[in-house]
Amino acid sequence: MSQPFLPFARPDIDEATIAGVVEVLRSGWITTGPHVGRFEQALSSYVGGRTVRVLTSATAALEVALLVAGIKPGDEVILPALSFVASANVILRIGARPVFVDVDLKTRNIDLDQVEAAITRRTRAIMPVHFAGLPVDLDRLYSLARAHQLRVIEDAAHAIGTYWRGKPVGAVGDLVCFSFHPNKVITTIEGGAIVLTNADETAAVELHRFHGLRRDADGESEVYLAGGKYNLSDVSARIGLGQLARLSEFVSRRQHLAWRYLDALADWTVGDLPARGDDGHSWHLMTVLLPFEELGMTRPGFVRAMRDAGIGIGVHYSSMPSFELYRKLGYDHRAYPNADRIGRETVSLPLFPAMTDLDVDRVCDTLRRLAKPARASVSAAPVRAAERAAAAAKR
């Protein structure tokens, strides 16, 4: 009897939340309304009382954060070469210049040594990504930013539920942006948020997310800037309230599953596993690197083979400088060798709270069965295998 298909990700929305959404639909008020305010207040409590404003996506949050931080055309923003392409696209959209730096091969997080080397007189901000929920070294990051008088816009799309030194990401720092996409730790269907530090920037976010418009007590309107339309609906906010209440439950389960993966693959020398992190890692993704040339297959071929075996696989992410848009702008992906290799070799294994331990074992067994060096590449395999064995011994 065949086993049911195991997707790469699946949101977990409970019946109480579904019933709450039905109440919102029946209320007749389904756009931005009271539930958005409640969701923002709940998020504020989560990050220690700081101000939070929600938007329709993390992409919108990042773009608006750049604008309220005063980033202008011609300014430079430093970011990792490895992320979802939205991280760089939002910089281009406001006329600034993305300055890519390489990432660490194990953590997939931005290399802070290279950040310092990339700072010029045009640099105005650093935009790190907490990859897969593993936090960047915030102490060192903010020390560097203060020394050079730079803004920090944390791309925390992966990091709701992540902790740094006992505090949730977002509880300290400058501008911090979350994602509530369906494959993230919590979801609002689509949605995002910005954590803010002062009243003026909060007011600016409110203008940018709704046409630059503000109404007075009499209902009269004035427009102050050419804003977008990024306001979250009450339907999404009601889902977010139900999800946020279960955040610790979701993170705990993700950690358990991630650690089971790492333990089950501890002796596996074909692929490279991600850094384990500590109890603060929320584990948005479980990524591994596979040497497809040695395996005698392509990544699409591997993804198809896993799908044929009933297992969904994701790809997170390609190196951003490798995309045509950025090649045409003069970027060379070879200048970022770690991001380039990760971009070629990465695959993401299923990881979501409803998975069982047996699901993890099934993925690992299938991975071992399919990811074997091709005979034609056997001569090269021992060297790579020895390198991976040495790395595994250090984990």
Catalytic residue list:
184
Angular region, 51: left φ>0, alpha ψ -120 to 50, beta rest: beta
As a residue count, the chain comes to 395
Radius of gyration, CA atoms only, the chain: 22
Q: Which two tokens stand for residue 248?
A: 């610790």
Half-sphere exposure of 160 (CA within 13 A, CB side): 30
In order of 178, 192, 247, 300, 392, the CA distances from 187 in angstroms are 11, 9, 10, 28, 34
Half-sphere exposure of 182 (CA within 13 A, CB side): 7
Picking from 159, 107, 168, 187, the residue whose alpha carbon sits closest to that of residue 282 is: 159
> Cα 393 to chain center, whole Å?
28
Give 356's strand partners. none
CA dihedral 165, 347, 334, 86 (to 10 degrees): -70
Q: What does the DSSP assignment read for 304-337?
A: HHHHHTTB--B----BGGGSHHHHHTT--GGGSH
CB atoms within 10 A of CB 359: 19
Q: Which two tokens stand for residue 351?
A: 């990881």
Strands 192-196 and 123-126: unpaired
Report the alpha-carbon distance of residue 335 to residue 347 in Å, rounded.
22
Tokens 């992906």: give the residue. 333
CA dihedral 247, 287, 9, 3 (to 10 degrees): -130
Helix (H) or strand (E) segment spanning residue 100: strand 97-101
Tokens 């369906």: give the residue. 182
Give 82's strand partners. 319
Report the alpha-carbon distance of residue 12 to residue 354 in Å, rounded.
7
Report the alpha-carbon distance of residue 133 to residue 280 in Å, rounded.
9
